[in-house]
Structure 1
């Protein structure tokens, strides 16, 4: 947490981090999720010195509640599937469609 954060933001950070861990995220990823969420909320409410346009104009993360997560209506995007295929070193991935990538990854 940044220096000068309020007690409320500290509690919010811990709550989000613990929730992410319960969902099975790694400790590092849980900290990243919590930091990004809390920093965005700080920017929206004017608690931070600088704030990007998306932080101030976008829907609050508390209201969004995972609407843009990977498990949305159509699942992960083709690019997300492609990146996972690249990490797993699946051959022929560059010519695959979204459904072919999905099958190759065993989804």
Structure 2
């Protein structure tokens, strides 16, 4: 059980970094520091969008429309932080406290 929780924690960390990298890349594209005419940039951008869109879609349905401001990555990062720092450690402590090793 602890190994499963550690795997989940690693996956949450990877998702967190993917979202942060996507946010930085979107800012670089928005401020025209890099552009999507470059094949490598376009490939990375599309891959990051395909990985994160399933996470953002349900949140975008719930959140009101803020125009050009998209708060769904922030909500996903908040949920990941809650899971990583509160839920998973409490599950691990409960599992270890119940004597099931």
**TM-score of the pair, normalised by structure 1:** 0.29
**Structure with higher RCO (Cα < 8 A, 6+ apart):** 2
Q: Which has the higher helix share?
A: 2
